[in-house]
Chain A
Amino acid sequence: MADDVRVLGMDGLQQLVDVLGARGYSVVGPTVRDGAIVPGAIRTVDDLPRGWGDEQDAAHYRLRRRDDDALFGFAAGAQSPKPVFFPATELFWRGRRTGEEFTVNQEGPEADGDGIGPYALLGVRSCDLHALAIHDVVLLGRNHVDVRYAARRAGTFVVAATCAAPGGTCFCASMGTGPRPDAGYDLALTELLDGGPHRFLVEVGTPRGAEVLDEVETAEALGVDVQGADDVAAWSVAHMGRTLDTEGLKDVLYAGAESPRWDDVASRCLACTNCTLVCPTCFCTSVEDVADLTGDVAERRRVWDSCFSEGFSYIHGGSIRPEIRSRYRQWMTHKLAAWVDQFGTSGCVGCGRCITWCPAAIDITAEAAALRWTPQPTVTT
C-alpha cells in the first residue's frame, strides 16, 4: 500500500482524463467494440465499459450486463495494451531504387499515422502491467533496442486498476502478478462499489502521479475506503478461475521435452496462432518486403508472427518444427521455462487470454499440470 492514498469520485475520474489530455497524453483504456473489451481512445468516462462484465472460460467469451455501473467490472479484455506500443504491423523503412542504386528512409512510429504518444494507460490491470514490464526487458533491456517500441513507450503514464472481476480463465494470483497492482504505476485505482458513493481508492506510485492527482478533485481516504480496496483484492484472489503450480515448473518442462503429453495436446491444437496473438508477452515478429510492380519502390514492414506457424522455423531444406507437437512444446516451454533463463521471469502473467481465445479450449494450466504428472518415456539412444 502506497503512503499517499486518496479517494476519487466519478467527477474526479473525468477530471483525471481531462488533466492527462491537457498534459499531452493520448489516453488509452478499455472500450467495448465488436462484442469484446479492447483497448481504445478514452476521451470521457463514458467511453469506458460502464456496466459491462464478461464471462470467460476455455474457448468462451461473452460480454454480459452487470447490475451495477462498474467501469472496470470485467476480467482481461480480448487484447492487452500490447498493440499500443508494439503494433501488429509496423513500417521499418521505405526505399527507392534508381538503376542499381537504392536509398532507404528510416520510418518512425509516426509513419503509420497513429502518433507516438506519449500514452496514458487508464485502467490497466496488474497482469497486463507485468506484461508491459516484461516487454520492456525483452525489447529495451538487452543489447539491441527496438527503437520504435522505445519511442512509443517513452513517458507512458500508468493509471492501473485493481482487478475486481477475475474471469474463469484467470490465474494471476498463481503467477504473483495480481490482482492488485504492485509496481510500475503512477496511480492505482481500486473501484469501490460497496453501496456508498461510486468511487475509487487511489494509490499514488510516483511523484508525477501525485502532481497529476493534485490537479484533480479528491477526498481524504478513510479507513472504510482502504479496507474496501483490500476486500476487493482479497475477493479477487479467492475467485481466480484457474491455478498454475509454478513450483519447479522450468525443470518439469525441460525434462518433459519428449513427453507423450505433447502428442495429446497436438491432437487438439489447430496451430491457429490465436494464443500468441492475444498473449500480452508474445513478441515474435517477422519482416515482410513489399515492392511495387516495377520493383523500384519497396518497403519493409514488421508483422507479428507466431511460433505456431509452420514457416516460423523454416530454414533451407524445411521447417525445424514441422509438427504441431513441436510447436506447442516450443511455445509453452518458452513461455513457462526458457523465458526464466532468458529474462529472469516467467513469460506468463496469468491473464488467461490464451485459454479463453483457444478455439479448441486448450488450457495452459491444465497442460502444465498434465505434463507434471505424465510419466516420462524411457530414453533409449
Chain B
Amino acid sequence: MSLLDNREPEPAGGAPAALLDPMLPRRFRIGHTRQDTRDTYTLELEPVDGAPLAYLAGQFTMLDAFGVGEAPISISGNPLVPGPLEHTIRDVGVVTHALITAPAGAVLGVRGPFGTPWDVSDAAGGDVVFVAGGIGLAPLRGAILELIAQRDRFERVVLLYGVRTPEDILFGDELRTWAKDNGIVVEVTVDNAQHAWRGRVGLVTQLVPRAGFDARRTTAFVCGPEVMMRYVASALVDRGVRENRIRLSMERNMKCGVGLCGHCQLRELFVCVDGPVLSYDRLAPLLSCR
C-alpha cells in the first residue's frame, strides 16, 4: 500500500534523503536586459555553474528574485541555438519588477524547465496558425523559431498577433524578418491606436476567419489571455480546425512547478505538469467553468 512501509528505520537525526530537490534553485547571472516595450523586458541569463539549461519551446521556469519571491515565466528563447537563457517579462508585480530591474551581473534563481512543450514538429506536413495576444507572443517565439529552422516541412504558416497599441508590439524587427525572409504570413492588429498607425484595429479573433489556411490540415498554437484564447479557439473550430489540433498555453497560479503545491489545478489537470500547453479538446469543457 505504501512505498515506504517496509524500509528499515534509519538512524534518527541522519542526513535527509539524498533525493533531487525540485524546490532548490540553480543560479543564473543576468548577462543583459533588453527593453522590448514600455513595460516588457527580455532577460538573458548565463548559468553560474556553466551548464546550460536544456528546454523545449513552450516550457517555463520559476524565476527567483532573491528575498522577493518566484514567478513562473515562459522561456522565450530559441531552444535549438546554444546561448543565454531568455525570458521575456512584463513588469506587472513585485517579483517581475525585481527581475526586470536587477542589474547586469546580478544572480537570479532558476528552477525548471517545467511543463509540456508546443511540439511544433507535430504540425509538419500541414498548415500552421500561431495566434498570440500581447505578451503571449513570448512563449510562442521558441516554437516559431523552431519551425523556421525546418520551414520546408510545413505548408502555409500564419501568425496572427493582437496587442493593445502599436507601442506594445513585441519583437517588431523579428516579425518583419519572419514575414520577409521566412515565409510566414504575419498579421498584426491592435485594440486602439493613434493616427500614425496604418495597420489593423480590432480583435485578433477577427483575423481568424479571413486568414488563409486549410483548416482540415491545420495545427494551431495559441497563447494569450484566457478569454482571448477561448474566443480564438472557438473561431478556429468554426473555421473547421479540429479541437485536438488546437493547442493553448494556460496560465494559472504556480508555486512549485512540479505538481505538488496544488495551486494550478484545473479540475483534474495540474497545469504545471499536464500543461501549460494543452490541447483544446481536453480544455474546452473546463475553460468556461469559473
Contacts and interface: CB of A to CB of B under 8 A. Distances in A.
10 smallest CB-CB distances across A and B, nearest first, come from A108-B16, A284-B262, A291-B67, A144-B258, A118-B9, A341-B268, A298-B67, A155-B9, A184-B1, A100-B106
Contacts of B11: 24
Interface residues of B, number: 58
B252 A313 contact: yes
Given A115-B12, A155-B9, A155-B10, A144 B107 contact: no
Given A140-B3, A154-B4, A147 B252 contact: no
B2 A132 contact: yes
B14 to A, nearest CB: 7
B260 interface: yes
Contacts of A285: 255-256, 260-262
- The interface size bin for chain A is 35 or more
B92 interface: yes
Interface string B1-43: 1111111111111111101111111010000000000000000
B121 interface: no
B260 A321 contact: no
Nearest to A334: B265
Interface in A292-330: 295-296, 298, 300, 302, 305, 307, 312-317, 320-321, 323, 326, 330
Contact of B12 (A117, A153, A184, A316): A117
Contact of A316 (B2, B23, B68, B93): B93
6 contacts: A109-B16, A184-B2, A254-B267, A287-B69, A300-B23, A307-B262
B168 interface: no
Contact of A150 (B4, B93, B105, B107): B4
Nearest to B16: A108
Given A92-B24, A133-B1, A341-B268, A139 B67 contact: no
Nearest to B62: A287
A44 interface: no
Interface in B177-230: 225
Contact of A312 (B22, B92, B263): B263
Given A118-B9, A316-B93, A154 B66 contact: no
B115 to A, nearest CB: 12
A173 interface: no
Contacts of B20: 145, 147
B24 A116 contact: no
A145 B21 CA distance: 8
A116 B14 contact: yes
Contacts of A25: 9
A118 B102 CA distance: 44
A144 B260 contact: yes
Interface of B: 1-17, 19-25, 27, 66-70, 90, 92-93, 102-103, 105-107, 109, 225, 251-253, 255-256, 258-263, 265, 267-268, 270, 273, 289-290
Nearest to A299: B67
A156 B11 CA distance: 12
Interface in A131-168: 132-133, 136, 138-148, 150-151, 153-158
A338 B265 CA distance: 10
A230 interface: no
B16 A284 contact: no
Interface in A361-375: none
Contacts of A287: 23, 69-70, 255-256, 261
Contact of B66 (A97, A139, A146, A155): A97
Contacts of A138: 260
Contact of B261 (A305, A313, A314): A305
A140 B4 CA distance: 9
Contact of A284 (B19, B252, B263): B263
B67 A289 contact: yes
Given A116-B14, A287-B69, 14 more contacts: A24-B11, A97-B66, A102-B109, A106-B24, A117-B9, A118-B10, A133-B2, A140-B3, A305-B263, A313-B253, A315-B253, A334-B265, A334-B267, A338-B265
